[in-house]
Structure 1
C-alpha cells in the first residue's frame, strides 16, 4: 500500500492509476486537513460491494459465517465439478 500527498497524486495521476491497476494494490491519497481517500482496482471495489450485499441479509450472513466455521474446523466435502 502506498501513501501519497494530493500534490503528488495530481502530478503523477497516470503512474498512480497504472500502479493500482498493474499491482492490484491500494493507494491512499492524503488530503491535508480533510479526510483521506483510497484508490483501489475496480475488481476490488466490486468484491467489497458484493461482500457488503451478501452480508446485509441477516440469514445469508449467518449461513456464510457457519460455512466459514465449518471450513476452519475441517468439516468440508470436496466434489468434482461436472462440465
Structure 2
C-alpha cells in the first residue's frame, strides 16, 4: 500500500486521487496528530460493501468460499450462458 503524508496528500491531492482510481488500490495518509486514514475509490468501497453483505449470512459465506476453493483448485465447471 502506498503511503503519503498529510502534507504530501494536500499538496498533490489531484494526483493522489487519480492514482487511487487508476491503480484501484488504497493509499494510506499518515498524520502527525491523529489516526492515519486510508483512501480508496468509490468503486472499491462499493465492492467491499457488497462482499461484506454477501458474507454476512454464514450459509452464503460458506457457499461463496466453497466456490472460491473450487476455482482455485481448477475444479470449476463451465456453464454455458444462454
TM-score, length basis structure 2: 0.83
Aligned length: 82
| Residue ranges of structure 2 left out of the alignment (5+ in a row) | none
User: Equivalents in 1 of 2:30, 2:9: separation in Å?
Assistant: 9
4+ residue runs of structure 1 moved beyond 6 angstroms?
none
Distance change >3 Å, CA 22–CA 66, structure 1 → 2: closer
RMSD of aligned residue pairs (Cα, Å): 1.6
Residues 2-58 of structure 1: per-residue CA shift (max 9 Å, x gap): 211111111111111111122322211001242211111111111111111110111
**Any unmatched runs of 5+ in structure 1?**
none
